[in-house]
């Protein structure tokens, strides 16, 4: 879905006044690959004053392609992501420099673009890239090993498969 024509907002509700909007911010169409339509919405905002529990966020999207339902609204509880949570996303054009610097999957030792990837794996402000979903399990089992920046590409492959040069 092309989101460049959609107007969207996030309205925050404080737990002390759950029925009165606290503040609203517009969501922007996120940059995608050059020449392709925006596929995501984003908002960069300082959330340090939002309580960790009890707040909620209402999202409103207007201008959707379905003429029968051009507007969508939904409300969700606000929650900070846990520091230990691992997120997996497709790498974006903005990640190209980091991918070029890493070159090889830290799990398999294969080239990052060799298996339909790369995928970006992150936890908090730490991230790495892997060549495929099959390389996710070792990271989930030992995230500190792979997300601390101290791992050599292919460390698991060298250990598990005992590659010889």
pLDDT at 140: 87
What residues does each domain of the chain span?
Answer: 7-77, 87-161
**pLDDT of res. 160:** 42
Look at residue 158 in the predicted model and tell me its pLDDT. 42
Query: Can you tell me the mean pLDDT for 26-47?
Result: 78
pLDDT tier, 105 (very low <50, low <70, confident <90, very high otherwise): very high
Tell me which H or E stretch contains 10. Answer: strand 7-13
Q: Phi then psi for 62, rounded to 5 degrees?
A: -125, 145
**Residue 133 pLDDT > 90, yes or no?**
no
pLDDT of 27 higher than 80: yes
Name the pLDDT band for 96 (thresholds 50, 70, 90).
confident
Q: What's the rounded mean pLDDT across residues 118-138?
A: 88
Q: What is the pLDDT of residues 58-86, one digit of tens each?
A: 999 999 888 899 999 999 998 876 556 78
What percent of the chain is predicted at pLDDT more than 70? 83
**What is the average per-residue pLDDT within 35-41?**
75
Question: Do the Cβ atoms of 120 and 112 come closer than 8 Å?
Answer: no
SS3 101: helix
User: For residue 10, what pLDDT band results from cuts at 50, 70 and 90?
Assistant: very high
Percentage of residues of the chain with pLDDT beyond 90: 36
Measured distance CA(146)–CA(49) in Å, rounded: 32
Tell me: pLDDT of 165 over 50.
no
| pTM of the full structure | 0.49
């Amino acid at each position: 879905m092309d989101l460049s024509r959609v107007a969207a907002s996030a309205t925050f509700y404080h737990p002390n006044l759950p029925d009165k909007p606290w503040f609203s911010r517009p969501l922007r169409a996120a940059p995608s690959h050059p020449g392709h339509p925006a596929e995501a919405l984003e908002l960069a905002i300082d959330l340090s004053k939002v309580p960790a529990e009890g707040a909620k966020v209402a999202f409103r999207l207007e201008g959707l392609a379905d003429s029968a339902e051009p507007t969508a609204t939904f409300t969700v509880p606000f929650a900070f992501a846990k520091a230990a949570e691992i997120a997996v996303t497709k790498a974006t054009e903005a990640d190209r420099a980091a991918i070029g610097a890493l070159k090889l999957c830290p799990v398999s030792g294969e080239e990052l673009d060799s298996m339909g990837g790369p995928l970006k794996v992150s936890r908090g402000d730490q991230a790495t890239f892997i060549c495929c979903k099959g390389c996710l399990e070792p990271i989930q089992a030992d995230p500190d090993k792979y997300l601390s920046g101290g791992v050599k590409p292919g460390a698991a492959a060298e250990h598990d498969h005992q590659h010889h040069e």
